[in-house]
Amino acid sequence: MPARTTTKETEAIANALHSAAIHLLRRLRKEDEQAGVGPARLSLLSVLVFGGPMRLSDLARAEQVKPPTITKLVAALEADGLVKRRGDGSDARAYRVEATRRGTALLHHARRRRVGRLAAALRGVSGAELAALRHAADIVERVVATI
């Protein structure tokens, strides 16, 4: 049975993971420049592509921003033809925002670029290290679900 880690050790691991995640995402975000859409808009588009149509209030909550910010982001994405608004069947006064085919394609293309860049970097890693990363990714996903 493995020994339990101390609070100090756990905090050091959490700090290392946090730092690694930030550095990884910042490096991969450079690939997004080719999409021609800023990071905030791509993030919002990702929420819609993977989460489905949402009301503005739900989008603001998901992106952790205020409603006026979401309104501006949606308007910009809509002007670019990447999202559209549809009436909300449960409330005639409200509407849902959804990604268009063009927006979905753009998001998937941007994601393929980021994943491709990461995959290229991982080619220099041993098989054992790749297995460890696969296991670590599973653990991170499990932990993230509890936050």
**Domains of the chain and any CATH numbers:** 29-144 (1.10.10.10)
Residues 61-111 pLDDT 10s: 999 999 999 999 999 999 999 999 998 777 777 889 999 999 999 999 999
Instruction: With H, G, I as helix, E, B as strand and everything else as coil, classify residue 54.
Output: strand
Instruction: With H, G, I as helix, E, B as strand and everything else as coil, classify residue 92.
Output: strand
Under the banding of pLDDT at 50, 70 and 90, the label for residue 1 is low
